[in-house]
Structure formats: C-alpha cells, structure tokens
Amino acid sequence: MRASQYFISTLKEAPADAEVVSQKLMLRAGFIRKVAAGIYSYLPIGLRVIRKVEEIVREEMNRAGALELSMPMVQPSELWAETGRWEKMGEEMLRFKDRHERDFALQPTSEEVVTDIARQELKSYRQLPKNFYQIQTKFRDERRPRFGVMRGREFTMKDAYSFDRSMDAAGRSYDAMYAAYCRIFDRLGLTYRAVAADTGAIGGDRSHEFQVIADTGEDAIVYCPDSDYAANIELAEALPLLASRATPTHGLEKTPTPGKATCADVAKLLEVPLATTLKSLVLATDDVDDKGRPAGVTVWLLLVRGDHALNEVKASKLEGLKAGFRFATEAEIHEHFGCKPGYLGPIGMKKPVKVVADRTVANMSDFICGANDEDYHYTGANWGRDLPEPDLVADLRNVVEGDPSPDGKGRLAIQRGIEVGHVFYLGTKYSKAMNATFLDEDGKPKHFEMGCYGIGVTRILGAAIEQNNDARGIIWPDALAPFRIVVCPVGWGKSEAVRAEALKLYEGLLGAGVDAILDDRDERPGVMFADWELIGVPHRVVIGERGLKEGMAEYQGRREAEATKVAIGDLAGFVAAKLRGQ
C-alpha cells in the first residue's frame, strides 16, 4: 500500500468528550469516527485491524473444529419468549415492531436462534458434537455508552455454541475452546489472564473470562503469583482471616458515637483499628405464596468486617437470596431495627431478621457494631454471649490484596483487566427451555448439553491500545498492526536515489508477503514520523539522501528510543530479521 493512495486522517487533539486513552488514540489516529453515542464508523485503517483480529479468530476456531455460519442481527420475540429472556433481558435489548406489529429485537447474543437451528437440524447423536460460530454485529442499548469501542452499543463479536450428547463430551468441547482462546490471545500478542468467573445472566456452571491486563481495566482480577490460581473479584474465594474465635476480654458496653455513622468514623473516634468494627448491610426479599401472590417481606442483615466490602454476586448465591434481592427501604429498616442506617447492628433488633455473617466476622470477638440506637454503638460484643450465633456463615466479601490464596500456595494479588473473551458451559439451560433434543444411542430423546463462547472482536482494539501505548501514540503488537512496517523516504519528490532505494525495499517486502506501506506523500520527516508513531506501526525504516551518501539507512522499532543505522546492502536482511523477532 502507498500512503498517497490510502486514507490517513490523523488529528492533533482528541475530541473533548473522549474519555480513555484508547478512545482518544483511535480518534486521533483515524481508526474511528463517532456517529452517535456508542456507535462508530470504522475508517479504512481501523477496519484493517478488525480484519486481522477476525482472521486469527477464524483460523483458530476452524482449527478447533468449529463451523462458521451467520445468524440474523434482527431476531423475532417468539424465540426469546421460549426461554423467558424476552422479559428478563431488560432495556439493554433494543426491541421494536415491524410494519405488521410483530415484535423483534436487535440481537445482543444468539443462544435462542442457534438452539432453534440445532433442534431443527441435529436429529441424532451421530451428528454430534457440533460447534457453530459466527462473527457478527451485535447491539446492546447501554444506558451510558462510554470508553469508545470498549463499551459501545454496536460492536462486533465472535460467538460460538457447542452441542454435545453428554456432560463429559461438553467438557471436552469446553476444553477445546479454552485452548483455542489461549492460542488466539497468544497470537494477538496480548498480555492476558484466563480467570475463573461467575456465569452471570447467561447462566450455566463452568466459566472463564479472558482478561487483557491494563491499569485502566474495569474488572479486578485476583491471582496468586506463586500458583495458577486466578479468578475475577466476583468469584474469588475469601478465606477467613481468623483461624478461630478468641476468648472475650471485654464486656459489652453501649458507647456514645455521636454523628459517627460509618465504620471508619467510629474507629477513628474510638481510636481502634477499623478491622474491629462490623459493617451492617440490610437486604430484603419479596416473598410469594405457592400461587405467586405477594406474601410479605423477609429482611436480611449481612455482616462484613468494617474494612471489607460486600460481594453482591456471592450474596446472590445464598439460599433464600437466589431468586433475587434488593436493598431494604428506610421504612423496612426502621420497622425491623427501630433506627436509621448508620447505627444498625445484630443486637436488640425490634423484629426478627435473617443474620448472615462473613466467615471472618463469624470468628471475631470483642467487636464493635451498631446499637440500633442513633448515635450509639456497642463495643466488646461477642457471639454466643451477647447475641445469638448467626443464622448462616458464608463467604460474603471481596478479597483484598494479601489475602491467603484459596489453593494454599501463597498470597493473593489484584490487578486490573479488560474482559475480551468469555467461555461458558451452559448445560441444558437453553435446550430444555426450547425442547431441543436429539435421539441418543438408546433411541430416546435427550436434551443437548451446550456451551457458549464469546470474543469481543472490536473490543480487542481498545483493550490492546490500553495495554500498548505511550506519549507518542499506539504501539500495536505485530499481529494486530494495520501495517507491520512503514518505509519513510525523506525527500521523495526531490531525490531519485531515495525513491529507488525506498521502492526497492518496499517491493521486496511485498514480495515476501509483508504487510508494508510506503509513505510517498512527500511530507516533512516530522509529520511522517508523528503520524506513524500515532498510528502505531511496529517497524519503521527511514531512507534519506544524507544517509545514502554514507551508504546507510535507519531502522527503529516502535518501542525503541533510538534509531539504528544499517548499511544499505544489509538493510533487507536486517529488516527481515527484525520482522522475525530477532
């Protein structure tokens, strides 16, 4: 490609509404242009990167035995109604009616459509296993689209769905996809972690997220530097920080704490460690009778240590909270505790509540908790002596840096990540809901065991840039770069010798199958260099008349601070070695 024939549209400054580094650099480098909130046009140079991601994804999916198809972006409500997700998906799914008043949606995902294909086409166990995938546009009507392509409304995804005859076979399909994902992200040149994850709204059991490591990532990744343990913050197990409950050494005392409604304020007032306090969180569940009619409210008191935070995903898995919960209203809190929030605790409640203590809290003694009386807290509180044992002890909290690793092999560390891939084992969640069956070897119908595997194709661009950038612009890994190498002739329009050497190198690169671009725009060196550093091309060769007089050219890798002089006679071989990573 010659730059004079290509479309290069760089900006010196990013638009004022650009928030994160990747968004700013993609706009400045001419990869994207905003059409509406969360919706972008991909200019030619941005589309080149997308196609490179797609090529690697497609090659590895095909290598793993998956079969590519294409499912419609517009999907009818009837399929979604079969699984109940037409109502459950919420406002993120953009619904509309056609001219005949029939309900449709823009697909955010395709479990229903692919399950419908399977129940129509896969009749016998002899046709299994099968794994269908697509690389397709998706739409999610995010309430607040932000961060450019990383949280947009329209995006490109690779989603795959496996169909198997047994749990064991489904496990093998899952493992094959997990391995394919590792190969994909290895080839993309990204630093990533595969972490155990919660299955979320899609449902299922086994689940891993593939997270690109970046300081600006939205997700917290928990890992053990001394082992293979890794999980996202929602799933990471928090072990008790106290091995056993110590013998009480203080008596219970109702202590004035005027105006101190937070654990931190109470600890500061009483001059004690924050870890001696209890944080009270009040939840409520709306009960129904066997006919689905309202049957009152159950109030729950969840207790975590004052320096810890409640993990709502873990709470949602507790018996009694699995069907859903909400934070209690102020009226419900006053009815059960006789006090406003900030002074709540498990001693002396007006009406019974379900008390759930975090593992660490259950082993605490002489702790401080709210007295259910404004401006007062109890000090020296102890389980069994001053209040009943909790109704339930569970892992309720987020882990923190330095916690013991659940595998017993060291201490936990936390880093930020950007989710770019997710693999799920779904089981029969969708096949049962849609009565998708095949005839097994015994001649009896059986529901498919399913898996679901997604990669955010366009999101990878943003994640890669968040991980690879500097003050000058983007630093693409070779596999993702729109061009691997740029040849920059200084004085293109003035020197025949410069043109000849630049063309010789450029045509040699093309002949070797290298994705190269020749900057024949006849721009000043500073403009050329600034453009290609902003765009992020990994390798650059500069050929100028002054250097040619000395028989030299210059090579500089995008991550290198200085250029290297190379003899013209050695240039082709030197560049070839650099492109091989030598």
pLDDT in tens, 430-444: 999 999 999 999 999
Query: Cβ atoms within 10 A of the Cβ of 380, count?
Result: 18
- pLDDT for res 293: 79
pTM of the full predicted structure? Answer: 0.87
Tokens for 547?
């250097």
pLDDT at 256: 97
DSSP E strand stretches across 5-139 = 32-36, 39-42, 67-68, 74-76, 95-97, 103-106, 130-139
Full pLDDT tens readout for the chain, 582 residues: 899 999 999 999 999 999 899 999 999 999 999 999 999 999 999 999 999 999 999 999 999 999 999 999 999 999 999 999 999 988 999 999 999 999 999 999 999 999 999 999 999 999 999 999 999 999 999 888 888 998 899 999 999 999 999 999 999 999 999 999 999 999 999 999 999 887 654 445 689 999 999 988 888 999 999 998 999 998 899 999 999 999 999 999 999 999 999 999 999 999 999 999 999 999 999 988 777 777 789 999 999 999 999 999 999 999 999 888 999 999 999 999 999 999 999 999 999 999 999 999 999 999 999 999 999 999 999 999 999 999 999 999 999 999 999 999 999 999 999 999 999 999 999 999 999 999 999 999 999 999 999 999 999 999 999 999 999 999 999 999 999 999 999 999 999 999 999 999 999 999 999 999 999 999 999 999 999 999 999 999 999 999 999 999 999 999 999 999 999 999 999 999 999 987
Per the CB < 8 A criterion, the answer to whether 356 and 389 are in contact is no
Contact 414, 222 (CB under 8 A): yes
DSSP state of 405: P
- Within a 13 Å sphere around the CA of 547, how many CA atoms are in the beta-carbon half? 23
pLDDT tens track for 510-526: 999 999 999 999 999 99
Token pair belonging to 427: 């089981």
Question: What type of residue sits at position 429?
Answer: K
In sign, the C-alpha dihedral spanning 397, 398, 401, 403 is positive
For 521, other C-beta atoms within 10 Å of its C-beta total: 19
- Confidence (pLDDT) at 490: 95
Residue 339: both structure tokens together? 């006090």
- The confidence score (pLDDT) of residue 199 equals 61
Specify which residues 298 forms β-bridges with.
285
Give the C-alpha distances (Å, rounded to integers) separating 383 from 246, 247, 386, 387.
11, 10, 6, 5
Give the burial string for 123-153 (b: 16+ CB within 10 Å, else e).
Answer: eebeebbbbbbbbbebbbbeeebebbbbbbb
Cα angle 339, 343, 345; round to 5:
90
What pLDDT score does 108 carry?
93
| Cα 252 to chain centroid, rounded | 46
Indicate the burial class of 87 (C-beta count within 10 angstroms; 0-12, 13-18, 19 or more). exposed
Distances (CA, A) of 154 to 41, 79, 265, 465, 473: 10, 22, 45, 19, 25
Q: CA of 329: how far to CAs of 280, 375, 533, in Å?
A: 14, 20, 55
> Which DSSP helix (H) or strand (E) runs through 161?
strand 154-164
Would you mind telling me the total number of residues written for the chain in this entry? Answer: 582
DSSP strands (E only) in 458-538? 469-470, 473-474, 485-490, 516-518
Q: Is 473 left (phi over 0), alpha (psi -120 to 50) or beta?
A: left
